[in-house]
Amino acid sequence: MCGIAGYIGKNQASGFLLDALKRLEYRGYDSTGIAVLGKENTLNYVRSVGKINALEEKMKERQSDGCIGIAHTRWATHGYPSEANAHPHSDCNENIFVVHNGIIENYKILKKELIKNGHKFESDTDTEVIAHLIEEHFKNSLEETMLNVLKFIEGAYALAVISKDDPEKIVVAKKSSPLVICIGKNENFIASDSSAIAGYADKVIYLDDDELGVVTKDDYKIISITSNNKVQKNCCKMDLDVAKVQKGEYEHFLLKEIFEIPEVIKNSTRGRMIPDQGLVKLGGLEVLDQSKLRNINRIIIIACGTASFAGLVGEYMLEEYAGIPVEVELGSEFRYRKPIIDSKTAVIAVSQSGETADTLASLSEAKRKGALTLGIVNTVGSTIARETDAGVYNHAGPEISVASTKAFISQITVLALLTVYLGRIRDMSLVTGKRITEEIDELPCLIEKVLENDKQIRDLAKKYSKYKNLLFMGRKYNYPIAEEGALKLKEVAYHIHAEGYAGGEMKHGPIAMIDENFPSIFIVPSDSVYEKNWSNMEEVKARRGKIIAIATEGNEEIKDIADDVIYIPKTLEILTPILAAIPLHLFAAYMGIELGLDIDRPRNLAKSVTVE
Ligand code: G6P
């Protein structure tokens, strides 16, 4: 978590740095800070608790005209979110400033040694040891010192460092946390991800693990931390529309991103379907020897959070239509188990950011054990995208709101494409392939219709925001959506407690909680488990529980049992999760707004969980 940024060039650094921090705020937002090397080789820094506007206010009093600077937005791992713990951190003499995303695992031992040698520490963070280590070992140049010092460090880092003792540069380094360098004209930029730089320059270099970069105003060089040799790296063109990282007419990114979903589906499916042949083309998988894909006899989907619920929908789809056994594993669990994997196992990592530490570690373990590794990733050039043997990009565009919505819908859509792709190279019939792809093609229109319920959902949020608890239930394809609905509510309307359950499990516990003060949301499209869901609704009603139902248009009888109904258009059963999730995303967003919460940046959360 945490976001870092850096600037070196012809302009004042603080302008870009503040803008970048705002765009990186989704990575953490408990405190922020900035350090700028002034024209007379003075180093000014400002740190502040809370979000970027607090820092901005403070900076008005302490303007710095310097053209070299680094900045940080923090999600606390070590030490409270206080000003002392906010980055940048410095050495004893405030000659060296460091911003860091990651965790230095052996910081306690290093700190003890440094204290013994007379260093004075100001914070409780792991990061501060880096500044003192550089001070302790400074020799010749900042990069030479860092190449030396990084060898003592264990853990994960994306670092940017400036120093008065070697002032015309920013030195960066990467291991396990993401870092990009963006090349401009007489100016260069650094950030945790390219969305922070969109609109400033468009040539990016994605640093790989164990690489150090020396960035000056007009140049850069990359050096391997392990061999100390220069590394040749290619620049990629950044294909990111700056409007995509701004709120536009919306007050919240979360709502903007939900309303982008019809467009997202078009982008996720564009050029990938041939409906009249019932075929799907996934360029990212075509690079593989197709017999490898045909021979897969087991799939393990690895993901965390919302992405894991997309994975669960994928499990149901792939088993039913591609006939391949699938398991879904949480990254945080899988990485510490002894998973049974062989070369016929495909491990699919599903991740919006492509940086989630647990997903990444699980993927590496699967790779080591010989699995074919695939990715369904939204962020182009991210670590998971680069680590996998092959994969499919979501093309959902940058997702800024911490809680995932459009990326989640895109993940399910891509899993449906993958189902047809793998199904058709096995025994899925032309008719089934056609039926699914034709219906996927219809989704953007159907979703527009779902979004027309916006006002009704907003009113429902007003009505239900006074409750303290909510239970979400669904069966089969919509069981994961019940989980997702509850998670989304927990994330953005966290004063309300929510649980997601498989409808059939209700009698094994949750039913005990039901009474007139404990409403339930049932996802009950007219599908193969409709009758079963109906029985569960009866059981809730019999205990005076209130019901909101997500039901298929035209279902009038549902009004006999549900207190409120949100209709979704008719579609194939396997695609109902896509339509059903959207009202739940809107509901969570409006509940959060009703409760007066910051729905884009809920407390304690971060979008990119790059630590365990
Ligand atoms: C965090 C985010 C969630 C996201 C999860 C997995 O918890 O707040 O929105 O679903 O990480 O992230 P990934 O980038 O791997 O999809």
SS (H, E, C) 540-563: HHCCCCCEEEEEECCCCHHHHCCC
* 28 pLDDT higher than 90: no
d(CA 558, CA 210): 58
Q: What is the pLDDT of residue 36?
A: 96
**Ligand 1 binding pocket includes 605 (Cβ within 6 Å):** yes
Q: In what order do the strands lie in the sheet with 180-183?
A: 43-49, 31-37, 68-74, 3-9, 187-191, 180-183, 203-206, 236-237
Domain range 253-448, its CATH number among 3.90.1300.10, 3.40.30.10, 3.40.50.10490, 3.20.20.30: 3.40.50.10490
Q: What is the pLDDT of residue 339?
A: 87
Mutate to test the pocket of ligand 1, among 26, 75, 193, 306 (most ligand atoms within 8 A of CB): 306
> How far is residue 22 from each of residues 63, 195, 462, 475, 604, measured CA to CA in Å?
18, 11, 30, 40, 17
Q: In terms of pLDDT, which residue wins out, 313 or 51?
A: 313
What is the number of the ligand 1 atom nearest to the C-alpha of 404? 9
Q: What mean pLDDT value characterizes the chain?
A: 94
130 touches 159 (CB < 8 A): yes
pLDDT digits (tens, 9 = 90+) for 497-544: 999 999 999 989 989 999 999 999 999 999 999 999 999 999 999 999
For the stretch 71-82, what's the b/e string if a residue is b when 16 or more beta carbons lie within 10 angstroms of its beta carbon? bbbbbbbebeee
Identical fold, 3-245 and 454-594: no
**Ligand 1 binding pocket includes 353 (Cβ within 6 Å):** yes
Candidates 194, 34, 39, 164; CA nearest to 99 is 34
Q: What is the pLDDT of residue 227?
A: 95
d(CA 409, CA 313): 11
- Mean pLDDT computed over 451-467: 97
**Ligand 1 binding pocket includes 607 (Cβ within 6 Å):** yes
Q: How far is the CA of 350 from the centre of ligand 1 (A)?
A: 10
**Ligand 1 binding pocket includes 351 (Cβ within 6 Å):** yes
- Mean pLDDT computed over 438-465: 98
Q: Where does 454-594 sit in CATH, by number?
A: 3.40.50.10490
User: What percentage of the chain exceeds 90 in pLDDT?
Assistant: 82
Q: How far is the CA of 308 from the centre of ligand 1 (A)?
A: 9
Candidates 397, 314, 414, 307; CA nearest to 359 is 307
Q: What is the pLDDT of residue 202?
A: 86
Q: How far is the CA of 303 from the centre of ligand 1 (A)?
A: 9
* 239 pLDDT higher than 80: no
Q: What is the pLDDT of residue 53?
A: 85
pLDDT digits (tens, 9 = 90+) for 127-176: 999 999 999 999 999 999 999 999 999 998 999 999 999 999 999 999 98
* 611 pLDDT higher than 90: no
Q: In terms of pLDDT, which residue wins out, 94 or 39?
A: 94
Q: What is the pLDDT of residue 234?
A: 85
Mutate to test the pocket of ligand 1, among 352, 406, 410, 599 (most ligand atoms within 8 A of CB): 352
Can you list the positions of beta strands (E) in 10-131?
A: 31-37, 43-49, 68-74, 89-90, 96-104
> How far is residue 8 from each of residues 12, 96, 190, 300, 362, measured CA to CA in Å?
9, 16, 9, 44, 37
Token pair of 512, please? 């005990």
d(CA 27, CA 499): 26
DSSP structural state of residue 141: B
Q: Where are the domains of the chain?
A: 3-245, 253-448, 454-594
Place of tokens 């070299």: 68
541 touches 492 (CB < 8 A): no
* 93 pLDDT higher than 80: yes
pLDDT digits (tens, 9 = 90+) for 245-257: 778 889 999 999 9
**Ligand 1 binding pocket includes 533 (Cβ within 6 Å):** no
What is the number of the ligand 1 atom nearest to the C-alpha of 359? 15
In this prediction, residue 40 has a pLDDT band, given cuts at 50, 70 and 90, of confident
**Ligand 1 binding pocket includes 14 (Cβ within 6 Å):** no
Q: Per mean pLDDT, which range of 195-204, 272-281, 407-416, 571-580 is the poorest?
A: 195-204
Q: Where does 3-245 sit in CATH, by number?
A: 3.60.20.10
Q: Which residues are catalytic?
A: 2, 607
Q: What is the pLDDT of residue 92?
A: 97
- Mean pLDDT computed over 379-396: 90
Candidates 392, 360, 396; CA nearest to 273 is 392
Q: Which residue's C-alpha comes closest to atom 8 of ligand 1? A: 607
d(CA 172, CA 100): 10
Q: What is the pLDDT of residue 604?
A: 87
Q: How far is the CA of 394 from the centre of ligand 1 (A)?
A: 15
Token pair of 17, please? 């740095």
Q: What is the pLDDT of residue 436?
A: 98
User: What percentage of the chain exceeds 70 in pLDDT?
Assistant: 99
* 1 pLDDT higher than 80: no
d(CA 220, CA 214): 5
pLDDT digits (tens, 9 = 90+) for 300-350: 999 999 999 999 999 999 999 999 999 999 999 998 888 899 999 999 999
pLDDT digits (tens, 9 = 90+) for 567-609: 999 999 999 999 999 999 999 999 999 999 999 999 988 887 8
